[in-house]
């Protein structure tokens, strides 16, 4: 009976509410009860429906069971799985009664919301099969009963599709649920739908957008699930295996032309009329771009209209009866104008729609804002974020998405991570993208990252394909990215993952290919030679390198990039002795000759012509700088006596620059030649310093090894004597004295060697030597001396090269540095605004000088900090990088200048803000916590800045960030004391408001509250201000929650005093305002009285003057009458 059913339902609901394991059992019971009834029985799902109805009546709020909230929460947690289990077993029934589930979709417990969205996923996944069953049943009824309407199946299908669309919209909305667990459940539901292949095409783009947006979620689980969704979207995309946008764009342009040509006549006429009207309103060349854009919009509108008409024709044709179809075809044939939409046009419209959808989907991954979201996953501190991002880029590369190359270049920066596991994962991704491809993956799923051992066994791609991948990667990378690529390639060469045929193909490209691939191939060879010098270090390979990198082709085309790459590869070659019988030595001699030609700039074109002009010549010299630098480095790596070669180079350059030794005397020289000359002598001087220190280290190591060997021999001899003869004490003592004397002599020799090296660095290289002869000329050019300032400053290349050369000389000699520091800072201060490169290079050089000679640069530290306010973002970024490096290495004192770095926390450039935050995070990790010691000074400097320089919101953001590092109770207590004592020193109520805001950001304990209460007299005069009073009120409210009973009494007392002083202060402030207002009125009244008095006096004086004039006139009249 009905009563028994109600009793059973009530008992089941009670068990669901109280027992965790009952959800699956009750759902299975519902399935079994439905199977006992025939399909047409209305009682088939009675038990399941009643249970859903009872669940919908439950109170799911936290206050539902006020007596036992824990039991209520547990009951909700137990009921939630039942909804998922019954949806998995009876999806059609749950869909028919979905209102019972959706009622709790906005309920408070996140477990219930999560179970509902997962239930929706089960319904959508299984609904495809259920729809087929429904249509089969409808067909059977149609054949057995002729009275059944043939549109019954289509009507049910429409309702079903409408219900499914509503469920999909619910899933899209709840991606933004307040609970991270529910957001994860929604994303996992989408993953289930994708895996089942039932995602509607209309939801593909919205789902992709949502997943990319969730990459910015604050929860790791959500970010990981969102990245998995993106990977699955790529795997299950409805387009082709290649998602490169270029083929799609070319194909769409062709289809677009066809549609514009064959569209219906009335649409074409309307389009041409609109374009004609647009061109008729042409007002000049300025409007050409706007007109072209509007023409494109008109064509797009016409194409969309054609697509709509073709779609409506298809729909109408399928919905008409056979007789109506014949009538429609007859009508179309009778028309004179060509307005018939042909089947071919319908086909092209469908292709155009498909291509447009594909490009829209691809552009989601290529949007700069979305690429930034992908890169933020790579930079995350969480390892799972990095892993999922790498997995995505591996699959993106498989589908030829351009963002894959960009993402992998960013990922290669993780090769410098301190965690070995992260570096291994990056290497795995690198192998799958560029070396072996995803087809060789042995992972557990699509795009999975295999371990490093398994990567060695993966089958590589064809060698030509690997070469193409590497050339494409290196060709699109900058200098910093190439350093990461080199680290990855060198590790793969050590692991023998890259086939040897790859380097043979690269040698062939470097020897025969024209243009940029030549230099790129040489660069990759040098990267591989970092791990295996045999790639370039042999007589035959060096001969190839000479011909390919420094031969006739390089000279003829002035290919400085190839020369630079060849010189870089030569730095992997070991130094050889002077042996004319060695083939390698003979080849290296020829290579050194060609390197000297490169360094001397004999190939540079300095003559300006009408065709190329001065800018082309400067660009040629700018490209030469990199090649010359690497060539000098190569000479110091492979030559047995590089100082002799350097002397020859300088002599030759001197002659070509100044005209010495050619039988003629010149009074001027070309600015570009002078730039190259200064660059060469400065870099040679720097390499001479490095070479000298390396020789000193070699001598020191050799002496130490020799002394250690003698010590070991003496110990062995002593042990033998002690074991053989006990009367040899005197002789052993003499031997010990000899060893000690020899050790003393070795220490003296080592000290003498160090002094010699210091003497060479201080006085020989830039002092008494050949290079020192040119330093006076360099100093005069940097100072723009002798009236040539305008001419020298007009050559940007010369000024940049001169200042850089001066900085290199200063890095060598302490005396030279100390003498010319004022000149360097003067050149930095007087540099024109357009000279961004000069200022940026100078700042980097100052960082090197501060690291080498910190005492000499200390007086100029404020001038270095001043560069943080430069107008150029590049200069500010370089300055902050140098300061962060120096501060973290304790080479620069931060006291008194840290406020300048604090301002960088609000810089417009995100890289500057991130670097400033990094500095403070690193400082907070130190044991002495310098942030705490410097906070009062930082507050004073920031608070004294005018409002035009530092806004109120910026000040409070900075202080909130800094105060977050103060966590120790003793520090909070002392900082509270210091800040309270600064209230009497404040000169304005705004400063007091900022000070009270800082106090409100601290986390107070019992002692700090006592300190705050004891210093009440210092800040009571400021409590009339609402902002100050509000901040102190926040302190009281925040501390009261966790305060002890005795502290609560202090807080109550403090709260009363705050309220009284605020009321009294407001009354006094109101009285002061009234007094000021009365005083203003009195002043106004006195001014008005004085004005009226003045007016009266002027009127009286004017009347008296009139009377006097009248009297004088009357007297004159009387006199005239008397006469």
Q: Distance between CA 1083 and CA 93 in Å, rounded? A: 87
1084 vs 205, more confident: 205
Decide if 1009 contacts 1042 (C-beta within 8 A).
Answer: no
Q: Distance between CA 924 and CA 933 in Å, rounded? A: 11
Separation in Å, CA 279 to CA 260, 265, 284, 996: 19, 21, 10, 65
The mean-pLDDT minimum among 174-188, 669-683, 1066-1080 falls in: 1066-1080
- The string of pLDDT tens digits covering residues 852-869 is 898 899 899 889 999 999
87-101, 610-624, 787-801, range with greatest mean pLDDT:
87-101
How many other β-carbons are positioned within 10 Å of the β-carbon of residue 1078? 10
Q: Distance between CA 841 and CA 826 in Å, rounded? A: 15
- Helix %, strand %, coil % of the chain (to 5): 80, 0, 20
pLDDT higher than 80, residue 100 = no
Question: How buried is 899 (Cβ within 10 angstroms: 0-12 exposed, 13-18 middle, 19+ buried)?
Answer: buried
pLDDT bin (cut points 50, 70, 90) of residue 471 is: very high
The mean-pLDDT minimum among 191-195, 302-306, 436-440, 878-882 falls in: 436-440
Which pLDDT score, from 0 to 100, does residue 440 have? 41
Q: Distance between CA 653 and CA 677 in Å, rounded? A: 6
Which pLDDT score, from 0 to 100, does residue 793 have? 55
Tokens standing for residue 1069: 């402030």
Which pLDDT score, from 0 to 100, does residue 756 have? 75
Which pLDDT score, from 0 to 100, does residue 127 have? 55
Give me the half-sphere count of Cα atoms (radius 13 Å) on the Cβ side of residue 1096. 6
Tokens standing for residue 244: 């490169």
pLDDT bin (cut points 50, 70, 90) of residue 806 is: very high
DSSP label of 242: -
Scan for tokens 């990759």, then name that residue. 524
- Using CA of residue 38, residue 40, residue 45, residue 46, what is the dihedral sign? negative
End-to-end CA distance of the chain: 150
How large is the average pLDDT for residues 416-430? 87
Q: Distance between CA 793 and CA 777 in Å, rounded? A: 15
Q: In 3-state terms, what secondary structure has residue 923?
A: helix
Which pLDDT score, from 0 to 100, does residue 138 have? 46
- pTM > 0.85: no
Mean pLDDT rounded to a whole number for the chain: 79
Which pLDDT score, from 0 to 100, does residue 139 have? 46
- The string of pLDDT tens digits covering residues 46-88 is 677 777 777 777 766 544 444 444 444 556 667 777 777 777 7
523, 531, 598: which is closest to 566 by C-alpha? Answer: 523
- The string of pLDDT tens digits covering residues 617-641 is 788 888 999 999 999 999 999 998 8
Q: Which H, E and C letters describe 660-691, residue by residue?
A: CCCCCCCCCCCHHHHHHHHHHHHHHHHHHHHH
485, 490, 572, 558: which is closest to 520 by C-alpha? Answer: 485
pLDDT higher than 70, residue 902 = yes
Which pLDDT score, from 0 to 100, does residue 502 have? 93
778, 763, 752, 757: which is closest to 815 by C-alpha? Answer: 763
Share of the chain above pLDDT 90, in %: 19
Which pLDDT score, from 0 to 100, does residue 4 have? 63
- The string of pLDDT tens digits covering residues 313-331 is 654 544 444 554 455 454 4
pLDDT higher than 60, residue 1118 = no
818, 650, 686, 849: which is closest to 761 by C-alpha? Answer: 686
- The string of pLDDT tens digits covering residues 812-854 is 888 899 999 999 999 999 888 888 999 999 999 999 999 889 8
Question: How buried is 249 (Cβ within 10 angstroms: 0-12 exposed, 13-18 middle, 19+ buried)?
Answer: middle
Decide if 490 contacts 528 (C-beta within 8 A).
Answer: yes
Q: Distance between CA 60 and CA 115 in Å, rounded? A: 14
How large is the average pLDDT for residues 437-443? 49
Which pLDDT score, from 0 to 100, does residue 738 have? 58
Which pLDDT score, from 0 to 100, does residue 39 have? 46
How large is the average pLDDT for residues 1005-1030? 87
pLDDT higher than 80, residue 1067 = no
Decide if 655 contacts 600 (C-beta within 8 A).
Answer: no
- The string of pLDDT tens digits covering residues 535-573 is 988 888 999 999 988 888 888 888 899 999 999 999 988
Q: Distance between CA 1044 and CA 835 in Å, rounded? A: 63
Q: In 3-state terms, what secondary structure has residue 1043?
A: coil
- The string of pLDDT tens digits covering residues 190-207 is 999 888 888 888 888 899
pLDDT higher than 60, residue 1007 = yes
How large is the average pLDDT for residues 923-950? 83
The mean-pLDDT minimum among 400-409, 786-795, 980-989 falls in: 786-795
pLDDT higher than 70, residue 263 = yes
Q: Distance between CA 511 and CA 1012 in Å, rounded? A: 78
Which pLDDT score, from 0 to 100, does residue 442 have? 39
- The string of pLDDT tens digits covering residues 359-383 is 999 998 888 888 888 888 888 888 8
How large is the average pLDDT for residues 174-187? 89
Tokens standing for residue 341: 């939409």
How many other β-carbons are positioned within 10 Å of the β-carbon of residue 829? 11
Decide if 885 contacts 847 (C-beta within 8 A).
Answer: yes
Question: DSSP alpha helices (H): ranges in 601-670?
Answer: 613-638, 642-658
Long-range contacts of 210-215 (CB under 8 A, 24+ apart): 210/172, 210/175, 211/187, 212/364, 212/370, 212/373, 213/373, 214/175, 214/183, 214/187, 215/373, 215/374, 215/376, 215/377
233, 502, 439, 253: which is closest to 355 by C-alpha? Answer: 253
How large is the average pLDDT for residues 1051-1077? 74
pLDDT higher than 70, residue 1123 = no
Helix (H) or strand (E) holding 333: helix 322-334
pLDDT higher than 50, residue 408 = yes
- The string of pLDDT tens digits covering residues 508-537 is 999 888 888 999 999 999 999 988 888 988
- The string of pLDDT tens digits covering residues 588-602 is 999 999 999 999 988
Give me the half-sphere count of Cα atoms (radius 13 Å) on the Cβ side of residue 974. 11
Number of helices followed by number of strands (H, E) in the chain: 51, 0
Q: Distance between CA 1097 and CA 1091 in Å, rounded? A: 10
Q: In 3-state terms, what secondary structure has residue 382?
A: coil
- Using CA of residue 365, residue 370, residue 371, residue 374, what is the dihedral sign? negative
48, 51, 61, 65: which is closest to 10 by C-alpha? Answer: 51
Share of the chain above pLDDT 70, in %: 79
Question: How buried is 293 (Cβ within 10 angstroms: 0-12 exposed, 13-18 middle, 19+ buried)?
Answer: exposed
Which pLDDT score, from 0 to 100, does residue 848 have? 92
What is the signed CA dihedral for 421, 426, 428, 431, rounded to 10 degrees? -160
pLDDT bin (cut points 50, 70, 90) of residue 657 is: confident
Which pLDDT score, from 0 to 100, does residue 303 have? 85
Question: How buried is 1083 (Cβ within 10 angstroms: 0-12 exposed, 13-18 middle, 19+ buried)?
Answer: exposed
736 vs 349, more confident: 349
Tokens standing for residue 114: 């999560």
């Amino acid at each position: 009976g009905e009563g028994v059913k109600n009793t059973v339902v009530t008992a089941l609901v009670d068990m669901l509410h109280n027992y965790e394991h009952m959800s699956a059992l009750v759902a299975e019971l519902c399935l079994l009860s439905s199977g006992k009834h025939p399909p047409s029985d209305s009682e088939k799902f009675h038990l399941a429906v009643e249970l859903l109805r009872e669940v919908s009546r439950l109170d799911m709020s936290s206050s539902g069971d006020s007596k036992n909230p824990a039991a209520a929460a547990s009951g909700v947690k137990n009921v939630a799985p039942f909804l998922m289990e019954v949806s998995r077993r009876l999806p059609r029934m749950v869909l028919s009664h979905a209102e019972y589930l959706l009622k709790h979709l906005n309920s408070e417990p996140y477990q219930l919301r999560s179970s509902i969205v997962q239930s929706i996923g089960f319904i959508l996944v299984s609904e495809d099969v259920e729809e087929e069953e429904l249509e089969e049943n409808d067909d059977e009824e149609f054949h057995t009963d002729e009275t059944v309407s043939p549109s019954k199946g289509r009507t049910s299908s429409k309702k079903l599709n409408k219900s499914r669309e509503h469920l999909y919209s619910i899933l899209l909305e709840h991606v933004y649920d307040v609970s991270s667990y529910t957001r994860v459940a929604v994303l996992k539901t989408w993953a289930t739908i994708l895996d089942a292949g039932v995602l509607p095409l209309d939801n593909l783009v919205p789902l992709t957008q949502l997943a990319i947006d969730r990459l910015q979620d604050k929860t790791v689980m959500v970010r990981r699930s969102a990245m998995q969704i993106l990977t699955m979207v790529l795997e299950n995309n409805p387009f082709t295996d290649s998602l490169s946008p270029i083929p799609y764009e070319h194909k769409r342009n062709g289809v677009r032309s066809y549609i514009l040509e064959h569209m219906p006549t009335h649409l074409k006429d309307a389009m041409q009329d609109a374009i004609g009207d647009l061109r008729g309103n042409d007002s000049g060349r300025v409007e050409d771009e706007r007109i072209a854009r509007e023409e494109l919009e008109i064509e797009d509108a016409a194409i969309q209209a054609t697509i709509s008409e073709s779609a409506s024709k298809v729909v109408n044709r399928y919905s008409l009866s056979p007789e109506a179809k014949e009538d429609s075809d007859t009508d179309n044939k009778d028309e004179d104008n060509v307005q018939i939409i042909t089947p071919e046009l319908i086909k092209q419209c469908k292709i155009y729609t498909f291509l447009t959808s594909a490009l829209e989907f691809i552009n989601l991954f290529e949007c700069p804002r979305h690429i930034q979201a992908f890169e933020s996953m790579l930079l995350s501190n969480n390892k799972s974020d990095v892993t999922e991002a790498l997995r995505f880029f591996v699959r993106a590369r498989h589908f030829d998405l351009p963002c894959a190359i960009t993402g992998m270049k960013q990922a290669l920066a993780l090769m410098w991570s301190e965690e070995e596991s992260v570096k291994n994962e990056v290497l795995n991704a690198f192998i799958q993208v560029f070396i072996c491809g995803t087809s060789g993956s042995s992972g557990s799923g699509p795009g999975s990252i295999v371990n490093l051992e398994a990567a060695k066994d993966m089958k590589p791609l064809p060698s030509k394909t690997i070469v193409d991948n590497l050339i494409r990667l290196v060709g699109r990378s900058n200098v910093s990215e190439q350093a990461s690529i080199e680290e990855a390639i060198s590790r793969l060469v050590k692991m023998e993952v890259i086939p040897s045929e790859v380097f043979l193909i690269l040698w062939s490209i470097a020897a025969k290919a024209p243009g940029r691939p030549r230099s790129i191939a040489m660069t990759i060879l040098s990267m591989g030679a970092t791990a295996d010098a045999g790639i370039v270090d042999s007589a035959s390979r060096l001969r190839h390198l000479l011909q390919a990198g420094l031969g006739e082709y390089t000279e003829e085309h002035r290919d400085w990039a190839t020369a630079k790459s060849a010189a870089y590869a030569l730095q992997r070659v070991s130094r050889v002795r002077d042996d004319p019988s060695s083939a390698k030595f003979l080849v290296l001699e020829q290579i050194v000759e060609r390197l000297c030609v490169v360094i001397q700039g004999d190939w540079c074109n300095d003559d300006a012509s009408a065709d190329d002009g001065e800018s082309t010549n400067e660009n040629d010299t700018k490209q030469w700088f990199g090649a010359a630098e690497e060539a000098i480095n190569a000479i110091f790596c492979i030559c047995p006596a590089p100082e002799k070669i350097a002397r020859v180079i300088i002599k030759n350059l001197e002659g070509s620059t100044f005209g010495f030794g050619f039988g003629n005397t010149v009074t001027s020289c070309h600015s570009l030649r002078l730039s190259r000359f200064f660059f060469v002598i400065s870099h040679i001087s720097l390499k001479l310093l490095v070479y000298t220190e390396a020789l000193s280290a070699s001598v020191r190591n050799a002496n130490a090894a020799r002394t250690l060997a003698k010590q070991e021999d003496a110990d062995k001899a002593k042990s033998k004597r002690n074991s053989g003869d006990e009367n040899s004490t005197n002789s052993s003592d003499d031997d010990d004295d000899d060893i000690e004397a020899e050790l003393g002599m070795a220490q003296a020799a080592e000290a003498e060697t160090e002094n010699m090296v210091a003497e060479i660095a201080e006085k020989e290289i830039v002092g008494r030597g050949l290079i020192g002869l040119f330093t006076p000329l360099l100093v005069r050019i940097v100072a723009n001396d002798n009236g040539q300032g305008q001419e020298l400053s007009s050559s940007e290349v010369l000024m940049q090269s001169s200042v850089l050369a001066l900085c290199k000389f200063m890095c060598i000699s302490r005396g030279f540095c100390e003498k010319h520091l004022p000149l360097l800072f003067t050149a930095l201060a007087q540099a024109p605004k357009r000279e961004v490169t000069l200022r940026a290079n100078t700042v980097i050089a100052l960082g090197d000088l501060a690291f080498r000679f910190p005492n000499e640069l200390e007086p100029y530290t404020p001038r270095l900090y001043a560069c943080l306010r430069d107008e150029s973002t590049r200069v500010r970024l370089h300055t902050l990088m140098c300061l962060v490096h120096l501060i973290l290495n304790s080479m620069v004192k931060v006291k008194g200048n840290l406020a300048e770095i604090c301002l960088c926390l609000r810089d417009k450039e995100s890289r500057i803000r991130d670097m400033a935050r990094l500095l403070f995070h690193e400082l907070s990790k130190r044991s002495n916590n310098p942030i705490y010691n410097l906070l009062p000074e930082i507050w004073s400097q920031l608070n004294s800045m005018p409002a035009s320089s530092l806004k109120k919101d910026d000040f409070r953001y900075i202080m909130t960030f800094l105060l977050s590092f103060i966590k120790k109770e003793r520090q909070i207590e002392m900082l509270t004391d210091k800040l309270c004592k600064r209230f009497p020193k404040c000169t304005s109520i705004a400063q007091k408001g900022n000070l009270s805001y800082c106090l409100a950001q601290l986390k107070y304990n019992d002692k700090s509250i006592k300190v705050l209460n004891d210093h009440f007299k210092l800040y009571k005069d400021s409590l009339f201000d609402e902002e100050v009073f509000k901040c102190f009120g926040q302190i009281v409210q925040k501390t009261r929650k966790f305060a002890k009973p005795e502290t609560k009494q202090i807080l109550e007392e403090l709260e009363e005093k705050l309220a009284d002083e605020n009321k009294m202060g407001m009354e006094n402030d109101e009285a002061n305002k009234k007094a000021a207002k009365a005083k203003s009125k009195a002043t106004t009244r006195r001014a008005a009285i004085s004005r009226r008095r003045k007016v009266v006096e002027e009127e009286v004086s004017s009347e008296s003057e009139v009377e006097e004039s009248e009297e004088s006139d009357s007297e004159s009249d009387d006199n005239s009458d008397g006469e």
